[in-house]
Amino acid sequence: MNALLTCSGVDAGYVPGCPVLRDVNITLEAGQVLALLGPNGAGKTTLMLTIAGLQAPLAGSIGLGGVPVRPGSPRAAVKAGLVLVPDDRSLFKELTVAENLRLASRRGSTTTETIFEYFPELKRRVKVTAGNLSGGEQQMLAIGRALMQDPKVLLVDELSMGLAPVIVEKLLPVIRKVADDTGAAVVLVEQHVMLALEIADTAIVLAHGDVALHGDAKALAADETQIERAYLGQATHS
Ligand SMILES: Nc1ncnc2c1ncn2[C@@H]1O[C@H](COP(=O)(O)OP(=O)(O)OP(=O)(O)O)[C@@H](O)[C@H]1O
């Protein structure tokens, strides 16, 4: 197995000695999608911020392709290929779709045309300011902007935030396609558990500061009781 992203014994949190999450171990290969699940306040965003270098881990280490990523350095994380789509999407609301994409562009292979192949809606809205897009279009733009940075690991926090389920059903398969096409590994925080498990390879449920469940997405989708117990912090690792 060729690990792309590794989290080894990661404690995540904001105050030394008081971790929000303890002993997180993740191994993700190129092109794999991991659904990161759990109740409100379980620490999903905290883990995403930690992987993206915006919070230094309180313990443990994060590596990319076997190389440790400098802890707590967003710049080092982006340079290594870890790209976060934050839950607030962080778009430049006064700038157009084209301008948002152009600003994110690196000298990589991804062009705006590639982004428009994933999200044809954005092509039709290319001159519209981000602030005037619908919620779903804003999420498409946020993901598109991340893709312009040629991520090795794409971190998508709360894809469905504020979106109707029908939009989420449309966006999640695009995330799967991105992983399949580009070989990027994806960590996806998602409240629509069953929809997330449909497109994921593996899943983790965080609860009460621990990894309550970690297993194959299809197997977990077939056993809703196990997921429910994990949300309550009652399950053991599968
Ligand atoms: N900047 C911060 N400083 C201190 N504690 C924080 C900070 N941000 C979040 N927390 C705490 O960390 C814990 C986990 O929060 P986090 O936002 O990571 O959970 P989450 O699983 O993403 O929740 P949700 O599903 O509601 O977004 C919570 O107890 C929260 O109060």
Within 10 A of 18 (CB to CB), how many other CB atoms are there? Answer: 10
Name which residue sits closest to atom 3 of ligand 1, judged by CA: 14
- For the chain, the domains span 82-150
- pLDDT value, residue 158: 92
Report whether 206 contacts 175 (CB < 8 A).
Answer: no
- pLDDT value, residue 134: 95
- pLDDT value, residue 2: 78
**Which of 10, 21, 40, 45 gets mutated to test ligand 1 (max ligand atoms within 8 A of its CB)?**
45
Report whether 100 contacts 133 (CB < 8 A).
Answer: no
Which tokens hold the place of 205?
């449920």
Name which residue sits closest to atom 4 of ligand 1, judged by CA: 14
- pLDDT value, residue 98: 96
ipTM of the complex: 0.97
Name which residue sits closest to atom 8 of ligand 1, judged by CA: 46
**Is the CB–ligand 1 distance for residue 68 below 6 Å?**
no
Look at residues 49, 45, 58 and name the one whose alpha carbon lies nearest to residue 13: 58
User: Counting runs of H as helices and runs of E as strands, what totals does the chain give?
Assistant: 10, 10
- The pTM for the full model equals 0.94
List, in order, residues 6 or more apart from 68 with CB less than 8 Å away.
61, 62
Q: What is the CA(24)–ligand 1 centre distance, in A?
A: 16
Sheet holding 202-207, edge to edge: 82-85, 153-156, 185-189, 33-37, 202-207, 210-216
Strands (E), the chain: 3-12, 21-29, 33-37, 59-64, 67-68, 82-85, 153-156, 185-189, 202-207, 210-216
Look at residues 36, 61, 35 and name the one whose alpha carbon lies nearest to residue 46: 36
Q: What is the CA(22)–ligand 1 centre distance, in A?
A: 14
Report whether 5 contacts 185 (CB < 8 A).
Answer: yes
Report whether 144 contacts 119 (CB < 8 A).
Answer: yes
CA distance 183 to 32: 8
Q: What is the mean pLDDT of each run of 10 residues along the chain (238 residues)?
A: 90 96 97 96 96 96 94 92 93 96 82 95 96 96 96 95 91 97 97 95 95 95 91 67
Q: What is the CA(44)–ligand 1 centre distance, in A?
A: 8
**Is the CB–ligand 1 distance for residue 20 below 6 Å?**
yes
Strand partners, 155: 84, 187
List, in order, residues 6 or more apart from 166 with CB less than 8 Å away.
none
Q: What is the CA(120)–ligand 1 centre distance, in A?
A: 34
